[in-house]
Structure 1
Amino acid sequence: MRKWIFIGLFLLIIAFVMFSALISRVPVGERVAIINIKGVIVNPIPTVRKIERLRKDKSVKALVIRVDSPGGSVGASQEIYRAIERFKAEGKPVVVSMGNVAASGGYYVSAPADYILANPGTITGSIGVIIQHVAYRELMEKIGVKATAIKTGKFKDTLNPFRELTPEEKEYLQETIGEAYEQFLKAILKYRGNKIGEEKLRSVADGRVLTGERAKELGLVDELGGIEDAVQKAKEIAGVPKAREFFVPEEKSLLQKVLGGEIEELKILNSYSPLFYLMSF
């Protein structure tokens, strides 16, 4: 009896292996992936890894990125920008759907897309660079706290909150953000130079925010519409009208799952705290 049980189990395992092999050869079909870039852009790694996986997935023919971000750090925005370029290098189109806000760094990561859609009331633009400095030396002195910096160079403790900036430091920081600003403009013109010339771009790239409707008039946005319009546009550009769309799930740590949206709120608070000394889009 045991002999027949073992034979039966063996045959069942063989059948399962053959079935799995058969399923793995069945084509998944043509698909359009949808990912979110939400909140302050500080850590680019999860988004970059998602885009990289989708780039390698042969069933994914196009990517729709839903951007709902007020901006973030310069380096993080540039990493996502580069990941989008790598995705496009595979011959796969990228379409951006702007949500409530896609400003500053949120616009930066949108710029390399093949097509950008925004709602009429989307807040976008805010093209510029900022470094924030909060000095609370007088407050610390009132409570008897003093700070001393031992440094190797005159600029090593620039943005130290325990003292005011010197005129030389202000000039140095202005030059630094000026370089990043030129990088921002160059990144936009690389993909939208034929839609908005440099002169027109510079005229509105002074930190002002724009509605989606105004951004379309200027050439910063291609069309007014929502996420479904963006999906249909991605299918059209990729030439896959019957492709299935799917949302790429968010990757959350155990702590994020427990605390939910509180983690994102902490990120936003941190990004505007006196300790946030990063240069930001």
Structure 2
Amino acid sequence: MMKKIVLIFLAAVFAFGVLFTVSMLIAKTIMGSSETKLTDEEGVGLVEVRGMILDSKDTIRQLRYFLKKESVKAVVLRVDSPGGVVAPSQEIYEEVKRFAAKKKIIVSMGSLAASGGYYISAPATLIYANPGTITASIGVILKLSNIEALMDKIGIKSYTLKTGRFKDSGSPLRKLSAEDRAMLQAVIDNTHEQFVRAVAAGRKLPVEEVRKIADGRVLSGEQAKAMKLVDRLGTLQDAVEEAGRLAGIKDEPEVILPPTRKIDYWDLLVDGMEGRFSGALRNAAGGMRLMYEAE
């Protein structure tokens, strides 16, 4: 019996090893090489921000790489994002502002560059949008859930020990009190004001002018241009050519891609599993995150 158990265990270990090896080969094939061939010719760097803004590290790494690279005379920041978490959006904003103080950085908006996607664009040298780009959505959102009735229905009781009356504000396990609502609204209002000031500073517009349209509304690229939130209407290629002109590059500029990070496939697998698990836990617990996000 013991021999049979050992054989089953060894077979399971072998099967896992084979599955893991195949998974890593597939991942490597899908993601491609970790090294990007770069040119030493003068050109325009391309940095892309796609999807939800949940982290700033990779975008900042790419911008800093291009800032140090002498052959890169300007950068196009391609934004196709509905926004995301407040702090990473603010960190990218600050990096774009620092970059613009030393080299030209041109934003090219794709189909969607709203809320946090617009926030990170504001301090650029120039902003291009397509006429039909969905942009602006200057606002802050905080989503909370309440599962108190569900817990009662299935017979589960929850008890919270805390050090102050606001420590569990926003908990899905109790109703939001008037005091909770007022406190959280004050945080949202302050964060919204930070957004308004950042746009006003980045676009060199009066704060009151920005505040009039900072009610969460989305705008088309054409509407945004009329309201001075966008400089020009045009495509990614238009933005690349303008970046080259501003950088003094003759003819059509070479587009230079940033080097990709070397991938540790084991870490990738583990982090992916951990991220899914912790994300599920946060969602179940009603995790609180302020978002610059277009609904």
CA distance in 1, matches of 2:257, 2:52: 21
- Superposed, 1:123-162 pairs within 5 Å as 123-162=134-173
**CA deviation string 1:26-85 (max 9, x = no partner):** x92312100110111011111111111111111111110110110111100011111112
- Name the CA shift for 1:253/1:231 in 2 (closer, same or farther; >3 Å): farther
Which whole-Å CA distance do the structure 2 matches of 1:193 and 1:53 have between them?
Answer: 27
1:213 has 2:225 as partner: no
- 1:240 matched to 2:266? The reply is no
Structure-to-structure mapping, 1:1-281, within 5 angstroms: 28-89=40-101, 91-194=102-205, 197-242=206-251, 243-248=253-258, 251=261, 254=265, 273=283, 275-281=286-292
Query: 1: distance between equivalents of 2:125 and 2:266?
Result: 36
Shift of 1:250: 5.3
Shift of 1:256: 10
Decide whether aligned partners of structure 1 residues 66 and 253 sit closer, same or farther in structure 2, where only a CA change above 3 A counts. farther
- The question of whether the paired residues in 1 share the 8 Å contact of 2:112 and 2:135 is answered with yes
Q: Which runs of 5+ in 2 are unaligned?
A: 1-38
Provide, for residues 96-133 of structure 1, a one-character-per-residue CA deviation record: whole Å limited to 9, x for no partner: 00011000000000001010011111110110011111
Counterpart amino acid of 1:37? V
What amino acid is aligned across from residue 218 of structure 2 in structure 1?
V
CA distance in 2, matches of 1:117, 1:256: 37
C-alpha deviation, 1:276, in angstroms: 4.0
Distance in 1, matches of 2:63 and 2:221, equals 25
TM-score scaled by length of structure 1: 0.80
Whether the 8 Å contact between 2:65 and 2:258 is mirrored in structure 1 is no
Corresponding letter in the other structure for 2:99? F
Return closer, same or farther for 1:253/1:124 CA change in 2, 3 Å cut-off. Answer: farther
What is the CA–CA distance in structure 2 between the aligned matches of 1:232 and 1:151, rounded to whole Å? 58
**CA distance in structure 1 between the aligned counterparts of 2:260 and 2:215, rounded to whole angstroms:** 34
Distance 1:210 1:99 in 2: 13
* TM value normalised by structure 2: 0.77
Q: What is the Cα-based RMSD across aligned positions, in Å?
A: 2.6
Number of residue equivalences: 247
Instruction: In structure 1, list runs of 5 or more residues that go unmatched.
Output: 1-26
Letter in 1 for 2:90: Q
1: CA distance between counterparts of 2:152 and 2:268? 42
Cα gap change, 1:224 to 1:177, in 2 (>3 Å): same
- Matched residue SS, 1:132: coil
